Amino acid sequence: MVEEVQEKELRSVLERAPKARKGLIVGGPPCQGFTVLNRDREGFDDPRSAGIDRFVDLVAMVRRAAPEVEWDYLLENVATMTDFNRQEITRKTETLGRVTTVKYDAREVGVVTRPRLYWLNWEFGTEETDDM
């Protein structure tokens, strides 16, 4: 579990790759609290939605544990969420620095055939969108 990861443990693991200069942290916290397919969705009041905060904390911890590495991140979740929840996730990821929000249909890269939202900290090869 992410909440059980300690910075000391991360340092120990990352010391095994002393030549690393670039890293990527990818996460997809549970979406049940956000998806409009769940009539009883509770947004950030759903305990599973705390995975967003845990992901942000993990990225910050990894960056502290190995500051010599340039760390990028990609956070994925459902596109069928309220504007409020999308904006709140954006606000939370902005604490990590630059953020790009992208809506992308997962069928382009796999078997899942539905649009997804991605928050990342690098330039993506498509236009950002505010009308998600």
16-45 per-position pLDDT tens digit: 999 999 999 999 999 999 998 899 999 999
* pTM to 2 decimal places: 0.87
Strands 115-120 and 22-27: unpaired
Low-confidence ranges of the chain (pLDDT < 50): 132
Give the residue carrying structure tokens 């120990």: 12
Q: Calculate the alpha carbon distances from 54 to 6, 13, 89, 103, 108 in Å.
A: 12, 19, 12, 22, 28
